[in-house]
Structure 1
Amino acid sequence: MADMRLIIAGAGGRMGRALVRAISETPGVVLAGALEAPGSELIGKDAGVLAGLPPCGVVLSGDLWALSANADGIIDFTVPAATIANVAIAAERGIVHVIGTTGLSASDDAVIRSVSKQAKVVQSGNMSLGVNLLAALVRRVAKALDDDFDIEIVEMHHRAKVDAPSGTAFLLGRAAAEGRGIDLSQHSVRSRDGHTGPRRTGDIGFATLRGGTATGDHSVIFAGPYERIELTHRSEDRMIFARGALKAALWAKDKPPGFYSMADVLGLSDF
């Protein structure tokens, strides 16, 4: 079977460079293109060299339409505006689009879902295999415990992260809400300051920490009368997200067009 030809969006960024390295270590995939924002000073640079590898002959380009003519998929950890532009091209080409971008709005998500009749979209707020297993566990625990157990989500990332709470925190929050059979948007508490009054039963709280070089720590706390259950995942290297994204791309290669999650990739949809 031919290797899957992948484009890395945001190839000059930290996550993009990790993805280029991951491709070099993963059988069954090859780097077919490296995308950066038009006008970037990195356009024309060798993607391998930027990733700390020997030159690979794939240079960064700002033209996804041209790059996608000879590709099977694109892996996209960029920014919302770029992802929405990329998803339209991926849909027109009918290629796999793995989306790890965070900070997307509800309208952005609607656009992404709307193109899945043509494209194979795998989207997750976190591509780590461990985090997605954690989400499945959170869903199960939330379903098993009643409102006597309050749910709080705590996350920490490096000082340069620009969105909060993290996409992973929302992923876990949605899992908890699904387990409880509630709408997260109606029960989400994202800040507390001053005289807030007592905690409302059924709310799901979010606490955000930023500092240093942390690549992502997440805990979901179920706090009940006189006992607590804490489910935690700590990431130690961005390569866990890169490897998960490659697994998702390979999984989706032979699937029909549609919208998929990492729960689908891992066979956890019915867990």
Structure 2
Amino acid sequence: MAQLKFGVIGHKGRMGRALEAAISEAGHELGFGVDAGGSIAPFAAQCDVLVDFSAPDALGANLEAARQAGKPIVIGTTGLEEPHFVMLAEAARAVPVLQSGNFSLGVTLLAHLVHEAAARLGPEWDIEVLEMHHRMKVDAPSGTAKLLGEAAAKGRGIALADNMESGRHGLTGARREGAIGFATLRGGTVAGEHAVIFAGPEERLTLAHSAENRMIFARGAVKAAAWIIGKPAGRYTMHDVLGL
């Protein structure tokens, strides 16, 4: 594979530092890195691909810089809301945009398995998504938990937004049939733990993934960035990268 030049947004964060190591490990080059208060616009045209692991409020400017430079962009920023997904769809009309809540190859396969299980198990099987991360993580549920919830919802043919239960406290009443529940844990230095529990009548199925080092996410993002180069404008996910 030819050496690629990366532009990394969120360069000094935990994932930014891991990305720099993964880029070098894969034989590529970090062309530039920017952080809070900086702009990629002056540098975007000098690289082959942009990778954004910064903050939701910077997404619009980063997508516009990619669009103006005509460069593909990989988005790993978490905490995105509906207006951000509208921005992603608009940018994808002009350039390739690959966004994911998790770039681990294992998590991508886990989401595929969750979809398959949800599609085959009836509504009498309750679905709960459990996640734990380090104490410094600021958003909840995690982007990965939402990704897994979306996979379960698509398998069931329902909308996650209409069937999501999280933050249970007090007298909540009985669990609603068809709901997809979320439980969030925070503490220590946990890189990422996710489990999807299918609780049926007198039996239970658990599909799970443990991240031991955030380098797995960085390597996946580098793989995705190399894959998206040369693709036509559009929205892509890690499922596309793995051909799922």
Q: Scaled by the length of structure 2, what TM-score is found?
A: 0.98
Summarize deviations over 1:214-235 as a string: whole Å, max 9, x none.
Answer: 0110000000000000000000
Say if 1:92 and 1:118, in contact at 8 Å, map to a contact too. no
For residues 14 and 134 of structure 2, what CA distance do their matches in structure 1 show?
Answer: 12
For residues 92 and 262 of structure 1, what CA distance do their matches in structure 2 show?
Answer: 24
Q: Matched residue of 2:131: which SS?
A: strand
* Gap regions ≥5 residues in structure 2: none
Summarize deviations over 1:122-166 as a string: whole Å, max 9, x none.
Answer: 000001110010000000000010011000000000000000000
Question: Aligned partner of 1:76: which letter?
Answer: D
The residue aligned with 1:179 is 155
1:86 and 2:85 matched: no
Say if 2:45 and 2:71, in contact at 8 Å, map to a contact too. no
Deviation at 1:2, TM superposition (A): 4.0
Summarize deviations over 1:49-90 as a string: whole Å, max 9, x none.
Answer: xxxxxxxxxxxxx23111112111111111101122101111
1:237 and 2:213 matched: yes
Say if 1:150 and 1:201, in contact at 8 Å, map to a contact too. yes
Largest Rg, 1 or 2 = 1
| Residue pairs, 1:185-264, within 5 angstroms | 185-264=161-240
| Residue pairs, 1:112-123, within 5 angstroms | 112-123=88-99
Counterpart selection for 2:43 from 53, 57, 67: 67
Worse-superposed segment, 83-92 or 173-182 = 83-92
| Residue pairs, 1:25-64, within 5 angstroms | 25-27=25-27, 29-38=28-37, 62-64=38-40
Q: State the Cα RMSD in Å.
A: 0.9
Q: Matched residue of 2:43: which SS?
A: helix
Say if 2:35 and 2:54, in contact at 8 Å, map to a contact too. no
Deviation at 1:251, TM superposition (A): 0.5
The residue aligned with 1:265 is 241
Worse-superposed segment, 77-86 or 136-145 = 77-86
The residue aligned with 1:161 is 137
User: What is the percent sequence identity of the aligned residues?
Assistant: 53
1:8 and 2:8 matched: yes
* Gap regions ≥5 residues in structure 1: 39-61
